Chain A
């Protein structure tokens, strides 16, 4: 029932007066997203959804998602595909009358969903994981390793159709077989590990 009521286009059921005072999830999202002002400033005008080029693929419009966060509806918000369909194109951000940097809010919500293992978009989370894994190994992105692994796992059926494009990329040296490793990759890993530690501490507060 609750899921139905917050769908795009359906009448949005606002929580009853007093019920929206559970700010714990809102604060959690605020801590996870480095943006000021944060979601507490949202006036629910809907400009973000109206500006969004990938809005048609979203289960909730950004405005509806933010209403879920502020109503403390944690499960619904974390399981929504909306942040995963965000392109980080910042159309919403330059139009938001409150100046909220919406993609940063989306990163915050996604990171909580990933940490708790409830991310609805396996493909998106897997792609990020493989990409980030390469950064840990090499300090650089590794296009060939990334696409090979990702397509074999998630899009094997697209591969035949993409052979021509792949060959063109390889024959024009646009896709290297060998990754480049930075010199101080150990130092980079130390920085990232420390940041992870600080992030876990902040989340536990």
Chain B
């Protein structure tokens, strides 16, 4: 077994419970032992940095300090949420880069007898650990039920390959790590250029019109590629594409029905695990029709069930093409 420090993040105990269940299910057979940091706190997303950058960075650094103090065999800190990952890794980078920053944040941490030395933990996203440390070949060797015939759009989102301050990714805009992993599961990975497009983050809460535009681009890209399902590595992306797809549909009078699953759920299915143990069946846009194609039955009966493939024929109307930037004057 390989030991890793683990920072779950708030979403995994709430809206992304399915991510938590499925990742815990798949790491065991791969020989990964996750040690959750005791008493971790919220990373603040972008909200705390918006109001007060120094307090925001101190909030994030408290987790790094706890992780440093709880190192035990491993100094790699794994975060499954892309927003947590970017906050933790960026703050660690600033600690290493600037002595002024490090001194200032450590002064704040000292108020609770904490201290962090830049670089003492190495922050990595779960996808990086699976692809780089475990390896695609090793993952393929655990596949018992290949996802043969399932067309999957690899939706990585923004915050894994960007900003990449530590230069670990060879491509920031069209990386193929997730494609390779999904292909190793036997899935048919569709050509999906929107793989690192932004889901809008908190825009669903502060400027819905912008959020719907962004969500539509992502969903439309998957729909045009005739994907049965999208695969994501981020709770925020899952939430926006899954929970707000209906509202986006109503706004554009469109009828998209593209389900989105966590990549760990697809891994679990390929490893022959039961859908319920992977949190499958808790989506707003049901993946029942998509998963029926590979002989997987989704546990919860779904009232909105309709064949995913029928979305093309059934969609009544597209009021316009892809959303394009509009002149500002139109809006005023």
Contacts and interface: CB of A to CB of B under 8 A. Distances in A.
B83 to A, nearest CB: 8
Given A140-B41, A195-B58, A94 B210 contact: no
A192 B53 contact: no
A88 B201 contact: yes
A84 B229 CA distance: 32
Secondary structure of the A contact surface, majority rule: helix
Contacts of A165: 243-244, 246-247, 284
Taking each of B98, B163, B200, B203, which has the highest tally of chain A beta carbons within 10 Å of its own beta carbon? Answer: B163
Could you say which interface size class chain A belongs to? 35 or more
Given A141-B45, A192-B59, A94 B163 contact: yes
Given A84-B206, A135-B59, A34 B101 contact: yes
B94 A34 contact: yes
B206 A187 contact: no
B39 A128 contact: no
* In the complex, the 8 A-B pairs of residues with the closest C-beta atoms, listed nearest first: A187-B112, A56-B325, A172-B282, A90-B162, A195-B108, A89-B198, A141-B10, A195-B58
A36 interface: yes
B14 A110 contact: no
Nearest to A162: B247
Contact of A180 (B13, B59, B110): B13
B204 to A, nearest CB: 10
Contact of A155 (B44, B49, B208): B208
A182 interface: yes
A59 interface: yes
A88 B86 CA distance: 10
14 contacts: A34-B101, A56-B328, A93-B162, A107-B49, A123-B206, A131-B47, A176-B14, A182-B41, A188-B59, A194-B110, A195-B57, A196-B54, A198-B104, A199-B55
A194 B111 CA distance: 7
A129 interface: yes
Contacts of A103: 46, 163
A32 B101 CA distance: 11
A106 B260 CA distance: 31
A89 B162 contact: yes
Nearest to A166: B243
Given A114-B50, A187-B113, 20 more contacts: A53-B214, A57-B209, A87-B214, A88-B158, A90-B159, A91-B162, A101-B163, A107-B46, A124-B206, A135-B44, A155-B208, A165-B244, A168-B243, A169-B284, A172-B281, A172-B300, A187-B114, A188-B62, A192-B108, A199-B54
B50 A110 contact: yes
Nearest to A53: B198
A94 B39 contact: no
B243 A164 contact: no
Taking each of A135, A182, A196, which has the highest tally of chain B beta carbons within 10 Å of its own beta carbon? Answer: A135
Interface in A84-113: 84-85, 87-91, 93-94, 101, 103-104, 107-108, 110-111
Given A56-B326, A94-B172, A165-B247, A87 B198 contact: yes
A143 B236 CA distance: 12
Interface string A194-205: 111011001000
A42 interface: no
B158 A91 contact: yes
A194 B55 CA distance: 8
